[in-house]
Amino acid sequence: MLVDSFRALRSFGAVEKYRYVGLGSVYFTDFSLVHRALGIEEMVSIEDAQDLTVQARFRLNVPFGNIQMHFGASTAVLQKLKWNVRTICWLDYDGALAASCLEDVAYFVRNAPSGSLLLLSLNAGPIQSSGSEGMKPLDTLKVQVGAEAVPADVENKHLSGWGVGDVYRRIVMAVIEEALRVRGSTGGSSSRMTFEPVYNFRYADGTKMVTFGGVLVEDAHKGVFRACNFEQFEFCRFGGDAYLIEAPLVTYAEMRHMDSERTKASCRLPLPAAEIEKYAKFYRYFPKFVEAEIS
């Protein structure tokens, strides 16, 4: 889904000339997809791994020679990169929102050129206390991100269910606005930027997760951003409302059957209507596998 929408950035320039920065993990799934689908050559994978054996494992699993491995904290690695090229930066964090995540966001917003895209993925499950027992979620959140980053109107009642992800997004958007203010104070045409929200996903894969982000746009490029026409993608979101991704519970045989009957008025499978509707919504992006029997 995301890669499909990245193509819209061609209004800013050839997408294959963009740089892709991500937190690849040993699977490098997003890197493989971005390179194969978009033809992006310049790719940077950031891994906070200091153990030489772990680093060797990452290098072993790098799928393409054009992927540059950088070992270290993302806060340090991002500051070592040159920011003279439009960048798609997907910070797919493993855990909850932390102060270091906000540092990454602020640095990207202050330095990336117009047309660059920023995405964050975060664990938005229940906030777990890492300090004294009995700490309430709001107190723990203030420890995670810094008390000054938490909006004054946030209460413990807001930090349950999907409310955690909503509060995370509010915190990140506030950091983005402050970074834009700082960037604007430096003067020059490239300093007059806005951040245009494009994504706000919710999904649950064992725990609640959120992915949100958008595009940095220089004042002179407002028309270019409009030409991207992200509105063409039903899953794009431009405000606080989220798009819920619900994976259908279907077998490979059921998927094949629904694919073959896509143009028919109704599906004759003995499945709950809700599962059929979910699959019809996501079938283009749903992963396909091959079944094989090994004797």
Q: What is the pLDDT of residues 7-63, one digit of tens each?
A: 999 999 999 999 999 997 899 999 999 999 999 999 999 999 999 999 999 999 999
**Cα–Cα distance between 283 and 185 in angstroms, integer?**
46
List the end-to-end C-alpha distance of the chain, in Å, as a whole number: 37
Q: Is the pLDDT of residue 250 over 70?
A: yes
**Cα–Cα distance between 214 and 196 in angstroms, integer?**
5
**Cα–Cα distance between 228 and 245 in angstroms, integer?**
23
Mean pLDDT of the 56-72 span:
96
**25 or 129: which carries more pLDDT confidence?**
25
Mean pLDDT of the 182-190 span:
82
Residue pair 126/18 in contact by the 8 Å Cβ criterion: no
What pLDDT score does 286 carry?
A: 60
What pLDDT score does 246 carry?
A: 83
* Beta partners for residue 87, in sequence order: 19
**What is the pLDDT of the chain when averaged over all its residues?**
91
* Beta partners for residue 33, in sequence order: none
CA 97 to chain CA centroid, nearest Å = 13
Q: pLDDT band for position 265 (50/70/90)?
A: low
Mean pLDDT of the 139-154 span:
97
Mean pLDDT of the 163-169 span:
98
Name the one residue in this structure whose structure tokens are 């506030």. Answer: 174
CA dihedral 174, 178, 181, 185 (to 10 degrees): 180
Q: Tokens representing 242?
A: 């989220």
CA dihedral 195, 201, 205, 209 (to 10 degrees): 40
Mean pLDDT of the 145-168 span:
97
Name the one residue in this structure whose structure tokens are 């798609």. Answer: 88
What pLDDT score does 148 carry?
A: 98
What pLDDT score does 198 carry?
A: 98
- Looking at the chain, list the stretches that DSSP marks H as alpha helix, in order from N- to C-terminal side: 2-6, 29-38, 52-61, 74-80, 99-111, 137-145, 163-184, 222-228, 252-260, 273-282
What pLDDT score does 183 carry?
A: 95
Mean pLDDT of the 166-185 span:
97
Name the one residue in this structure whose structure tokens are 């950088």. Answer: 70
pLDDT over 70, % of the chain: 90
**b vs e for 199-232, b when ≥16 Cβ sit within 10 Å of the residue's Cβ?**
bbbbbeeeebbbbbbbbbbbeebeebbeebebee
**268 or 180: which carries more pLDDT confidence?**
180
**37 or 264: which carries more pLDDT confidence?**
37
**Cα–Cα distance between 214 and 151 in angstroms, integer?**
21
pLDDT over 90, % of the chain: 75
